Chain A
């Protein structure tokens, strides 16, 4: 760990059903922490716990010195009030909305005026290379295009913490290569912390600045962007 401000830190036990795992990690601004591990090791549960979709079993989860979840002191910030954005493994795009509405949803939900939400969404869609796809439905897109929409939908919120759950797992080989080129470019302009869950060491190599293997203690590889 370095002395930069920590966007997110988790010290405690996560769990879902019978499964439990105790963790202790922090991620600083500009860092991309890859969390790797075999199936069932709790990778996605970490993402869901940080997003507030699964409660922490014990310990505490903090972001920018604000406690999001601390069961012992009964502190809890609801998912919609956490300054994070999730790109889910199964994307969870809204099928009845077009691409623009999907991307603008989070902004509108946070009270941003329609015009501003559309303008920001248009810029973000341009960044991910989907300018001409605004009026299409998710069902009319390829796997890679849907993944870009999900990424744009998270990034457009300008979150403090971006949570990417297996972002390259649901795409074909060609799209995966294109996304591996796009992701570092997009993430380089992102000021907050990124947590990337993956089982592919190629993703770690291409995207991560630090790696947390759920079988090993935390290992900072190359804290790029750090001073």
Chain B
């Protein structure tokens, strides 16, 4: 066998993209970088304005439960956002706990049960509902939902008061995290439903037909094929909803009695979240207190970012397991 000597130098291929391609590449890259830049600038602004508070209060700004003083010389001033941080989490979790089962059921109905006309109608209603301003939800919650929900809260407490979450230290049911959570649930339902439906619609039809061919009825195919397939989408939708619920301001401001006290008895009056606290205090805040509110805003910003990162991680993990 003979081996001929070959030229091992690789031929370099040069390809220059057409001008329009390079221009389009530049535009989309600039767009992507701009949103990152804006996010970075917001974070930098909040850190810059709230830095003194982090320096003065240290870690107790996160763990402390007192918001006192205006920072004037000689006046004792302590800022800690633990009650509102806990309030944000409680309100959002109540909202997600109510919204997710309803939204998944709605998504399954639209995708697998509704006929084409009803499906189209419901999808447009969902899109519309996602665009309703939160102040509308807040007003609806305040005037229509809250009076009724107080009675539901009373009933829950009456029958399930032994459960710590449903226990109340006194007979006050107005403006509770339960009512706030319900308003948030209605607010986030369209986005959770929309994302879930989108993922369910991508269930491979072959898998559904395989389930039928093996004797599976519609519900069986949904339970064993569509739901596991759409799990990552449901989690992603729930996390998106959680992100929106965490930062909701106006609806909570209108519906919940904003009280600076940690309240995990969700049926009991009083609570709030970081965003509503900022809205409540901002108008009358001293320059030093404004810095405190900026620092609180930064904590909320980071917290929401972490929730979204966790959502991405869970969705990716779920996708990896499915692959």
Contact = CB atoms under 8 A, between A and B. Distances in A.
A125 interface: no
B217 A80 contact: yes
B209 A106 contact: no
A52 B215 CA distance: 11
B65 to A, nearest CB: 45
B216 interface: yes
A88 B210 contact: yes
Contact of B206 (A80, A90, A106): A90
A96 interface: yes
A79 B213 contact: yes
Contacts, number: 64
B206 A157 contact: no
Contact of B215 (A88, A90, A95, A109): A109
A90 B207 CA distance: 10
B224 to A, nearest CB: 6
Interface in A78-108: 78-80, 84-86, 88, 90, 92, 94-97, 105-106, 108
Interface in B156-215: 206-207, 209-215
Interface string B310-323: 00000000000111
- Chain A interface size, as a band, is 20 to 34
B71 interface: no
Given A80-B217, A90-B206, A109-B220, A96 B322 contact: yes
Contacts of B225: 94
B213 A86 contact: yes
Given A96-B228, A96-B322, A110 B215 contact: yes
A41 B212 CA distance: 25
Best-buried of B215, B225, B321, B322 by chain A (most CB within 10 Å): B215
B137 interface: no
Contacts of B215: 80, 106, 109-110, 157
A92 B217 contact: no
Contacts of B228: 94, 96-97
A154 B321 CA distance: 25
A94 B224 contact: yes
B213 A85 contact: yes
Interface in A55-93: 78-80, 84-86, 88, 90, 92
A221 interface: no
Nearest to B225: A94
Nearest to A86: B213
A86 B212 CA distance: 10
A106 B224 contact: no
B61 interface: no
A139 B321 CA distance: 10
B229 interface: yes
A153 interface: yes
A132 to B, nearest CB: 22
A119 B116 CA distance: 42
A97 B224 contact: yes
Interface string B281-323: 0000000000000000000000000000000000000000111
A141 interface: no
A182 interface: no
Contacts of A164: none
Nearest to B206: A92
A157 B214 contact: yes
B214 A106 contact: yes
Given A92-B207, A96-B321, A85 B212 contact: no
B322 A92 contact: no
B214 A85 contact: yes
Contact of A153 (B214, B217, B220, B224): B214
Contact of A79 (B206, B212, B321): B212
B322 A109 contact: no
A177 interface: no
Interface in B229-267: 229
A105 B211 contact: yes
A224 interface: no
A112 to B, nearest CB: 10
Interface in A137-155: 139, 153-154
A86 B220 CA distance: 17
A-B complex: 4 closest residue pairs judged by Cβ atoms: A106-B214, A92-B210, A109-B216, A79-B212
14 contacts: A80-B217, A84-B213, A85-B213, A86-B213, A88-B213, A90-B206, A92-B209, A92-B210, A94-B211, A94-B224, A109-B214, A109-B215, A109-B220, A153-B214
Interface of A: 51-53, 78-80, 84-86, 88, 90, 92, 94-97, 105-106, 108-110, 139, 153-154, 157
Given A79-B212, A108-B220, 12 more contacts: A53-B209, A78-B212, A80-B217, A80-B220, A94-B228, A95-B323, A96-B229, A105-B224, A106-B215, A109-B216, A109-B220, A157-B214
